[in-house]
Amino acid sequence: MSKKITVSKAIREGLLEEMRRDDKMFIMGEDMAVMGNVFAVTTGFLDEFGPDRVIDTPISEEGFCGMAVGAAMRGMHPCVELMYDDFITVCADPIFNQAAKLKYMSGGQCSIPMVLRMPMGSGRRNAGQHSQSLEGMVCHFPGLKVVAPCSAADAKGLIKSAMRDPDPVVVFEHKLLYAKKEEIPEDEDYLVPIGKANVKREGKDLTIITWSREVNFSMEAAEKLAAEGIDVEVLDLRTLVPIDWDAIKASVSKTHNVIIVSEEVKRGSYAGEISAQIAEELFDELDAPVERVCGLNIVSPFSPVLEDQNFPHPDDIVKAVKRVLNK
Amino acid sequence: MAHEVLMPQLGLTMEEGTVSQWIKHEGDEVKTGDVIVEITTDKLTNEVASEFDGVLLKIVAQEGEDIPVKGLLAYIGQPGEAVGGDAPAAAPAAPAAEAAPAAAPAAAAPAPVAAANGARIRISPLARKTAAKLGVDYSSIVGTGTSGRIRQADILAAAEAQKNAPAAPAAAPAAAAPTAKPAAKEAGLDLMEGDTVVKLTGMRKVVAERMLASHTEIPCVTQNIKVDVTELMKFRKMLLAETGRKYSVNDLILKATAKCLKNHPEMRVSFDGNRIIQRAHVNIGMAVALDAGLITPVIRDADKMGLEELADTAKDLATRAKENKLLPEEYKGSTITVTNLGMFGIETFTPIINQPDAAIIGVCATENELDLDDEGNLIKKQVMRLSVTLDHRLLDGAVVAKFEMDLRDMLQNPMSILL
């Protein structure tokens, strides 16, 4: 049985089910309670769970992230939202230095079972300080798990798995996916495991490794390529850390050609990290150089015309695939 | 252990270099970046800088010696340090290390790292692995990947072809490693009183090898055409008056040639065994005479340059050629060459093709000539001959004649050069 709902509703369902299941869980962030979140992820939560478990904060990301880390140390299960992932830079210490490391610094005496939700991505005319895709930076820090779902079903299944995980999990949610309506299972208690990629489309000529919104673009590109007789495989990573290396290895060993598509600034991107790992460990499987298809090395422009040039579209992916295959 | 100073590889085709001069001497202190030796190679003199701090302990390769790439030149280390087992072989080892991958599977064909012409082969890791597994020699395969990279599909096709043609699978002429060219035998000529002997080195040696190869491999024809340059000479004066710049006859000929070549793609071809390469770019090699020999720097995409830019480029390349300051890539990649002996009063000549070009244009002297005009009056004209040598494997006389006529017409109507 399945039903059709938006990605933001799917996340809301996941959070709602977990709030009802787990009374140690609470939600905190800017406009999360009275307003019910700018993307309507927590509408109705304040009425059902009250102000102790659904907390509006001032604009004070470092402060409330620090509070969440402290609460998690004491056994609570906080779910914190940064309105935009760009704001991670002001809470670098509580997230990267405390949440990620305290289990290790304390010799395993505590763990930090918190979830940090971060809307990300370009295309909303939000300009340079509210449009970034910072996967590369977040994935750099050992101690964090990082997921970046694309579909509604994965978004719900992963947020539930994240809430049940004993370690800090960062969830990248693409802002322009929230309104997309998709089929999800009716089953209340289904989970999508952290660390498992999904072969979204099978193919034999080339593997597109991607995540978040670029999965949809890659699927569009794959259809266009199929019309020209090029059969690509689309691997939706879903989880970035820990990466599903078995899935990557299996796919690359099958197709021998790879591109990695993400919305990040290309320089220093997580796409680059994956490319390097493939070059190191799967060199003998490669029939062409691995190509990264990413955003430009520029500050995200405000101009709609320019912003749309700044992340990979299906046609860019089609071109990259043809370049690699020399078709 | 002291550090070895090795003969660097300064161009794709470089196989050896000649030690022309040691700048540092045994016992001298050297720092990283200090020039320690000059080597002559591929027509140019290059400086080799030290990659280490220390003392030049021992010079192994003496001035005038030809040393293969990666061959031992000298040792740098701390004073008193032992060098290379203290008994460096007199003849430096051939560059074996690169040629033989250490752990080639026993059953596999020798994996070549160099093409028949010595250039590195582009091959994907997967294709290389597959070739080793199937025992395919890929040194002569033309890849279908980006930039001609050999892909797995190419190896599989070659393996299939090998299976279907078992008679001559190993007939490919390519050697696994670039074998050193046998040195030309000295005939042992008798020396007469006053004769001196100079070793054939550096640029002279390269010129000798290349000219001999071209002359023996190419069935060539030289076709001379007479050009009335009376108007061209006036045009030069007009340009001088208009722009204040004195353009040489050669500048105008280069410009006309570039323009004409753009319309004659059939002239821009290269012979490569069983293949004909159609050259996309109008890259004009320009022969520059030097005391030590000659060199042909290349004006890339000459057809896209205006007269001023072309003249600037030609001048810059010629100047740096004479100062021995060209980079290796600046004298490679021509698709046709222009050589000018006009300033020496040469009436016609038979230029030798600069491989892999398929033709060379020789520019001859401008002379006065008397002629009759339409009314029968005696008039004075200025004429110049172009001597075009063609590779008859690729080009036929009539084809090149049409090109020559077009070039002549353009030079006789000089405004069309700039239009």
B14 to chain A, minimum CA–CA distance in Å?
Answer: 27
Encoded tokens for B217: 């491999």
Among residues A185, A219, A246, which one ends one of the domains?
A185
User: Are A107 and A256 part of one and the same domain?
Assistant: no
Catalytic residue among B3, B25, B215, B392: B392
B146/A324 touch (CB, cutoff 8 Å), yes or no: yes
Is residue A23 located within the same domain as residue A149?
Answer: yes
Q: Is the pLDDT of residue B107 over 90?
A: no
Decide: pTM greater than 0.80.
Answer: no
A254 to chain B: closest CA residue: B126
C-alpha B149 chain-centroid distance: 23
Residues from chain B contacting residue A256 (CB–CB below 8 Å): 124, 126, 152
CA–CA distance, B9 with B70 (Å, rounded to integer): 7
- Return the residue of A nearest to B123 by Cα: A287
| pLDDT-based confidence at residue B204 (cuts at 50, 70, 90) | confident
Domain boundary among A140, A161, A185: A185
**What pLDDT was estimated at residue B65?**
84
- The candidate with the shortest Cα–Cα distance to B212, out of B341, B17, B355, B333, is B355
Number of structural domains, chain A?
2
Say if strands A54-56 and B54-59 run parallel, antiparallel, or are unpaired: unpaired
pLDDT tens digits for range B28-52: 889 888 889 988 876 677 888 888 8
Distance from the Cα of B151 to chain A's closest Cα (Å) equals 6
Average pLDDT in chain B: 82
Sign, CA dihedral A317-A321-A324-A326, equals negative
Instruction: Dump the DSSP string for B353-382.
Output: P-TT-SEEEEEEEEEEEEEE-TTS-EEEEE
Q: Is the pLDDT assigned to residue B415 strictly greater than 60?
A: yes
Last residue of a domain, one of A185, A209, A225: A185
**Cβ contact A287–B151 (<8 Å):** yes
Instruction: Please report residues of A whose CB lies closer than 8 A to that of B152.
Output: 256, 287
The beta-carbon neighbor of B125 closest among A283, A323, A324 is A283
Check A130, A174, A233, A264 and give the catalytic one.
A130
Distance from CA of residue A25 to its chain's centroid?
Answer: 21
Helix, strand, coil percentages, rounded to 5, for chain A: 40, 20, 40
Instruction: Please tell me the distance in Å from A247's CA to the nearest CA on chain B.
Output: 19
Q: How confident is the model at residue B140 (pLDDT cuts 50, 70, 90)?
A: confident
pLDDT for A318 equals 98
Lowest mean pLDDT among B62-71, B182-191, B383-392: B182-191
Q: Which residues are registered as beta bridge partners of B293?
A: B290
pLDDT at B200: 75
- Nearest Cα residue to B217 out of B360, B351, B356: B356
For residues A323 and B146, what is the distance between their CA atoms, to the nearest angstrom?
7
* Domain B101-164 is found in CATH 3.90.1640.10: no
CA neighbours within 13 Å on the CB side: how many for B26?
11
| Partner residue opposite B126 with nearest CB, options A286, A324, A326 | A286
What is the CATH number for A302? 3.40.50.920
Classify residue A192: in a domain, yes or no: no
Tell me, what's the pLDDT at B355?
Answer: 87
- The residue extents of the domains of chain B are 3-97, 101-164, 202-418
Show the tokens assigned to A242.
Answer: 């820990």
Over its C-alpha atoms, chain A yields an Rg (Å, rounded) of 19
- Which of chain B's residues have a Cβ under 8 Å away from the Cβ of A284? 125-126, 128-129
pLDDT tens digits, residue range A183-242?
999 887 899 999 999 999 999 999 999 999 999 999 999 999 999 999 999 999 999 999
Q: Which CATH architecture has domain B202-418?
A: 2-Layer Sandwich (3.30)
One of A13, A18, A61, A291 is an active-site residue; which one?
Answer: A61
Pairwise CB contact (< 8 Å): B152 & A286: no
Inform me whether the pLDDT recorded for A158 exceeds 50. yes
The answer to whether the CB of A88 falls within 8 A of the CB of A168 is no
pLDDT digits (tens, 9 = 90+) for B352-363: 998 889 999 999
Is A130 tagged catalytic?
yes
Do both A202 and A68 map to the same domain? no
CATH number of B3-97: 2.40.50.100
Mutate to test the interface with A, among B126, B128, B138 (most CBs of A within 10 A): B126
Q: A225 and A111 in one domain? A: no
Closest to A284 (Cβ–Cβ): which among B129, B144, B149?
A: B129
Q: Are strands A291-295 and A258-265 parallel, antiparallel or unpaired?
A: parallel
Give CA angle at A178 (A62, A143), nearest 5°: 40
